Structure 1
Amino acid sequence: MRAIHNPAARGFALVGAVAAAGLLLSACGSDGSTNGMDHGGATPSATASSSSSSSSSSSTGAFNDADVMFAQMMIPHHEQALEMAKLADGRAEDPEIKKLVGEIERAQDPEIQKMKSWLKAWGKPESAGHGGHGMAGMVSDTDMADLAAAKGQEFDRKFAELMIAHHEGAVEMAKTEQKDGSDAAAKKAADDVVRTQAAEIAQLKKILKRL
């Protein structure tokens, strides 16, 4: 009887073990599926965030007040730099000044258009209502008139002096954006302003010394 009973008991035990193992595997599979769904839910967001950060255009929802202020202030600031650069035509004499004027025109107009597109995407006005007055480095109407009246070396010297102060103001605003901004594209633009305009300030100071 023991020889017959024991195999049966072992058989029942084996079936029970297989069933238990099956339930355990099923439970693991269910957990894995849930985890997969959780990760899947996070992945598109992470991908979108990565894509937004790497994009040169700004994305809605990622900006803050500092980003808006940076764009609104930098647009008229850049526009005045372009006005100064246009005055160099027929007035500038120094070859290095002329070359720098061309670089300013090529760099700052696209930046203006880019910042305008950000503000449109953010649903914000292009102007904060200050018209550029009181911003660091902005050239007064009197100084602009004096620059327009100058020619040759006098123009070159005045242009260098005014553009140094103007660029220093832009760098100051860009550093505020680096510190307080949120939007990745706007912060990258601020990095570019600090890097390129600091280099141009150094170049203009060297020019000024030899004029």
Structure 2
Amino acid sequence: MRSFTHRTARKFALVGAATATGLLLTACGTDDGKSGMDHGGTSATASASASASGSGGVAAAPGAFNDADVMFAQMMIPHHEQALEMAELAEGRAQDPEVKKLVTAIEQAQDPEIQKMRAWLKGWGKPESAGHGGGGGHGMAGMMSEQDMKDLAAVKGKAFDRKFAELMIAHHNGAVDMAKDERKNGENPTAKALADDIVRTQSDEVAALRKILDRL
């Protein structure tokens, strides 16, 4: 654990660097006369703001962005958060070694992805939530209802493994559909690269979960 003094010094150093970068970008951004005209996120100003450091020291996504990129991040954050909530329920309940392995993989992949997307939205000057889906996001593809989560928490052992697999397959399929939409309609290269990763990784995990169900 770094000392408070070290963390504070690093914080001031980052703030100073960000300020200097901002001044340089402001000086350079006046040439094309488009400063502040970033509706939809496709202007030079959008690119400049996206290059700033996001929360937690995670870099924001550089380059232009559009409404699809923003919606992708705003919707995928709560989607990932619920997957992590489901993974947390496996502690003390899951029995199958393969289920436990997938739980670890989900936790290791999706928490960092949440931090990335939060940094993008901050760099783009967009709110983390735009009210998509309503009701805490339960209207989004693959999202579990409160009752689904209660039912999952109420079982243990093989019954938990089976229900977890069934629910996570639906949850992952929803995330894959959202990521495919981003690949088709998004503009930001970094966001589209994450969408590619989600499609590939979560499709593989769905296949593994189906194999688990077949033998349970």
Alignment TM-score > 0.5, same fold? yes
Aligned counterpart for 1:58 among listed residues 48, 58, 61: 61
| Unpaired stretches in structure 2, ≥5 consecutive residues | 1-43, 52-58
Aligned counterpart for 1:72 among listed residues 62, 74, 78: 74
Q: Is the 8 A contact 1:57 1:185 kept in 2?
A: no
Q: TM-score, normalised by structure 1?
A: 0.73
Q: Which residue of 2 aligns with 1:21?
A: none
Secondary structure at 2:137's aligned position in 1? coil
Instruction: Give 1 or 2: higher helix fraction.
Output: 1
Separation in 2 of the partners of 1:196 and 1:57?
22
After superposition, the Cα gap between the structure-2 partners of 1:120 and 1:57, relative to the gap in structure 1 and judged at 3 Å, is closer
Post-superposition CA distance 1:133-186 (Å, at most 9, x none): 210000010010000000000000000000000000000000000000000000
Separation in 2 of the partners of 1:69 and 1:150?
34
Separation in 2 of the partners of 1:102 and 1:146?
21
- Alpha-carbon RMSD: 1.9
Q: Which residue of 1 aligns with 2:124?
A: 122
Separation in 2 of the partners of 1:102 and 1:57?
26
Q: TM-score, normalised by structure 2?
A: 0.71
Separation in 2 of the partners of 1:177 and 1:192?
12
Higher relative contact order (CA 8 A, sep 6+): 1
Higher gyration radius (CA): 1
Spell out the pairing of 1:186-197 with structure 2 (5 A cutoff). Answer: 186-197=191-202
| Unpaired stretches in structure 1, ≥5 consecutive residues | 1-44
Separation in 2 of the partners of 1:141 and 1:57?
32
Aligned counterpart for 1:105 among listed residues 104, 107, 111: 107
Secondary structure at 2:130's aligned position in 1? coil
Once the 2 structures are TM-superposed, how far is the Cα of residue 97 of structure 1 from its aligned partner?
0.2
Aligned counterpart for 2:205 among listed residues 187, 190, 200: 200
Once the 2 structures are TM-superposed, how far is the Cα of residue 57 of structure 1 from its aligned partner?
4.0
Q: Which residue of 2 aligns with 1:181?
A: 186
Secondary structure at 1:195's aligned position in 2? helix
Separation in 1 of the partners of 2:130 and 2:178?
15
Q: Which residue of 2 aligns with 1:157?
A: 162
Secondary structure at 1:126's aligned position in 2? coil
Q: Is the 8 A contact 2:138 2:144 kept in 1?
A: no
Q: Which residue of 2 aligns with 1:33?
A: none
